[in-house]
Amino acid sequence: MSTPDAPGVGARRGTTHPAADPSGSLWLGILKKCVLVTTSAIAVAATVAVFVTGPGAALSTLFGFAVVVAFFGISLAVGHFAGRNNPSGAIGLFAVTYAIKVVGFAVVLFVLGTPPWLEPNWFFGGAVGTVILWQSVELYVFSKARHQLYNDPAPTAPVPGNEFDRG
């Protein structure tokens, strides 16, 4: 069974997790860092798209980015809320959420259809670039987080008269 970390375990700059935001949530910290990095990259890509192809290309790039961020952001939000109450059940919720998202996003995108302004190559490039960058940042930030698997036992006081007892 998973237990929460003791206060200050793995603390860096006063947070519970190195990747955590001020609330101490690992998942929200990952979400914040992923959104920050991918938004910076997609801004550059959209700027290039405007000058190379036009505003439709920039919108297509941004739309690809938005779909990916929504898709992955939902998972991290579920991890945040489920992880607080039931850390060991979070992985099951990730799997269920993934299946629901795939079906839900497919239905929404098929119902909406292809907008007339959409440039397929720029949309694809924006979406794939966002996925690759998002996954890279998410993996890096998650790998830097410290997860305590077991509670460390509290040190015991040595018995008087036994100097070899280290507790």
DSSP character string of the chain: ---PPPTTTT-BTTBSSTT--TT--HHHHHHHHHHHHHHHHHHHHHHHHHHHT-HHHHHHHHHHHHHHHHHHHHHHHHHHHHHHH-GGGHHHHHHHHHHHHHHHHHHHHHHH---TT--HHHHHHHHHHHHHHHHHHHHHHHHT-----SPPPPPPPPPTT-TT---
User: Is 95 part of a structural domain of the chain?
Assistant: yes
Average of per-residue pLDDT values in the chain: 81
pLDDT at 146 over 80: no
User: Is 2 part of a structural domain of the chain?
Assistant: no
User: Is 12 part of a structural domain of the chain?
Assistant: no
Nearest Cα to 16, choosing from 159, 141, 166, 146?
146
Assess contact for 64 and 130: CB atoms under 8 A.
yes
pLDDT score for 11: 44
Domain ranges, residue 84 = 26-143
User: Is 75 part of a structural domain of the chain?
Assistant: yes
User: Is 77 part of a structural domain of the chain?
Assistant: yes
Specify the higher pLDDT residue, 16 or 90.
Answer: 90
pLDDT at 58 over 80: yes
pLDDT score for 13: 47
User: Which residue, chain included where needed, has tokens 């980015």?
Assistant: 65
pLDDT of 83-112, one tens digit each? 777 777 777 888 888 888 889 888 988 998
pLDDT score for 92: 83
Distance between alpha carbon 126 and the CA centroid of its chain, in Å? Answer: 18
User: Is 163 part of a structural domain of the chain?
Assistant: no
- Give me the mean pLDDT over the 34-62 stretch: 95
Specify the higher pLDDT residue, 108 or 4.
Answer: 108
Of 76-80, 98-102, 157-161, the one with minimum mean pLDDT is 157-161
- Give me the mean pLDDT over the 68-81 stretch: 88
Q: Using 50, 70 and 90 to split pLDDT, how confident is the model at 147?
A: low
Q: Which residues of 101-123 are buried (b: 16+ CB within 10 A; e: fewer)?
A: beeeeeeeeeeeeeeeeebeebb
User: Is 8 part of a structural domain of the chain?
Assistant: no
- Domain count for the chain: 1
User: Is 112 part of a structural domain of the chain?
Assistant: yes
Q: Using 50, 70 and 90 to split pLDDT, how confident is the model at 144?
A: confident
Number of residues in the chain: 167
C-alpha dihedral sign at 28, 32, 33, 35: positive
pLDDT of 108-129, one tens digit each? 889 988 889 999 999 999 999 9
pLDDT at 162 over 90: no
% of the chain with per-residue pLDDT over 70: 75
